[in-house]
Structure 1
Amino acid sequence: MMNERLLFPSKPSVYHLDDVTVIRLEGPDAVKYLNGQVTCDVAALTPGQSSLGAHCNPKGKVLAAFRLFKREQDLLLMYKKELAEIELAELKKYAVFSKLTITDVSNEFKIIGMAGTSTDEWINTHISAFEQLDTSLVKCQIKQDRWLLLSHKSHPLPLLLPEQPHSDWWGLEILDGLPQLNKNAQTEFIPQALNLHALQAISFTKGCYTGQEIVARAKYRGINNRALFILQGTAGNPVSTDSVVERQLGEHWRTSGTILDVWQKNEQLLISIVLPSDTTADSVFRIANDEESSLSIHPLPYALE
Structure 2
Amino acid sequence: MQTRLPFFGVVRVSGEDRALFLHGQLSNDINNLASGQACYATYNTPKGRVLANMLVVNRGEDLLLVMAQDLTEAIVKRLRMFVLRAKVVFELMPDLAVSGELAENAEPHPAAEPQLSFPAQIQANTVEITLPHTGRLKISAAENAAEYQAGAENAWNLHEIRSGYPWICAATKEAAVAQMLNQHIIGAVHFRKGCYPGQEIIARAQYRGQVKRGLAVLSGDSLEAAGIAVKVGEEEAGFILNTALTEQGSLSLAVIKFSAAEAALTDADGNALKQEELFFTVEKD
Query: Does residue 1:197 correspond to 2:184, yes or no?
Result: yes
Provide, for residues 7-28 of structure 1, a one-character-per-residue CA deviation record: whole Å limited to 9, x for no partner: xxxxxx1121122110111111
Contact map agreement 2:9 2:98 (CA 8 A) in 1: no
Closer, same or farther in 2 for the Cα pair 1:167/1:96, shift >3 Å? farther
Closer, same or farther in 2 for the Cα pair 1:255/1:266, shift >3 Å? farther
Provide, for residues 229-260 of structure 1, a one-character-per-residue CA deviation record: whole Å limited to 9, x for no partner: 1112x31x44322533233xxxx564321111
Map of 1:229 onto structure 2: 216
How far did 1:110 drift? 2.2
Map of 2:87 onto structure 1: 99
Map of 1:113 onto structure 2: 100
Provide, for residues 123-172 of structure 1, a one-character-per-residue CA deviation record: whole Å limited to 9, x for no partner: xxxxxxxx89x512111112465200011246x25x69987342332222
Amino acid aligned to 1:142: L
How far did 1:288 drift? 4.0
> Residues 125-140 of structure 1: matches in 2 within 5 Å?
135-140=124-129
Closer, same or farther in 2 for the Cα pair 1:223/1:136, shift >3 Å? same
Contact map agreement 2:133 2:160 (CA 8 A) in 1: no
SS at match of 1:184: coil
SS at match of 1:95: coil
Map of 1:269 onto structure 2: 250
Contact map agreement 1:32 1:43 (CA 8 A) in 2: yes
Unaligned stretches of 5+ in structure 2? 107-120
Closer, same or farther in 2 for the Cα pair 1:118/1:141, shift >3 Å? farther
Map of 1:122 onto structure 2: none
For residues 209 and 281 of structure 2, the distance between their equivalents in structure 1, rounded to whole angstroms, comes to: 17
Closer, same or farther in 2 for the Cα pair 1:165/1:290, shift >3 Å? farther
For residues 290 and 265 of structure 1, the distance between their equivalents in structure 2, rounded to whole angstroms, comes to: 20
Contact map agreement 1:14 1:163 (CA 8 A) in 2: no
Contact map agreement 2:216 2:275 (CA 8 A) in 1: no
How far did 1:84 drift? 2.4
Map of 1:4 onto structure 2: none
TM-score in terms of structure 2 length: 0.83
Unaligned stretches of 5+ in structure 1? 1-12, 120-130
SS at match of 1:257: strand
Amino acid aligned to 2:224: V
Amino acid aligned to 2:176: F
The number of residues matched between the two structures is: 268
For residues 149 and 223 of structure 2, the distance between their equivalents in structure 1, rounded to whole angstroms, comes to: 27
Query: Does residue 1:246 correspond to 2:221, yes or no?
Result: no
Amino acid aligned to 1:224: V
Amino acid aligned to 2:73: E
Map of 1:123 onto structure 2: none
Map of 2:240 onto structure 1: 259
Contact map agreement 2:51 2:174 (CA 8 A) in 1: yes
How far did 1:294 drift? 4.4
Contact map agreement 1:231 1:298 (CA 8 A) in 2: yes
Query: Does residue 1:296 correspond to 2:282, yes or no?
Result: no
How far did 1:182 drift? 2.5
Further displaced range: 24-33 or 209-218: 209-218
For residues 260 and 209 of structure 1, the distance between their equivalents in structure 2, rounded to whole angstroms, comes to: 24
For residues 193 and 2 of structure 2, the distance between their equivalents in structure 1, rounded to whole angstroms, comes to: 37
How far did 1:283 drift? 3.9
TM-score in terms of structure 1 length: 0.78
For residues 269 and 175 of structure 2, the distance between their equivalents in structure 1, rounded to whole angstroms, comes to: 25
Closer, same or farther in 2 for the Cα pair 1:27/1:275, shift >3 Å? same
Query: Does residue 1:170 correspond to 2:170, yes or no?
Result: no
Amino acid aligned to 1:297: E
Amino acid aligned to 2:124: T
Give the fraction of aligned pairs with identical amino acids, expressed as a percent.
25
Map of 2:26 onto structure 1: 38
**Looking at CA atoms only, which structure, 1 or 2, has the larger radius of gyration?**
1
For residues 28 and 234 of structure 2, the distance between their equivalents in structure 1, rounded to whole angstroms, comes to: 38
1:60 paired residue among 48, 55, 77: 48
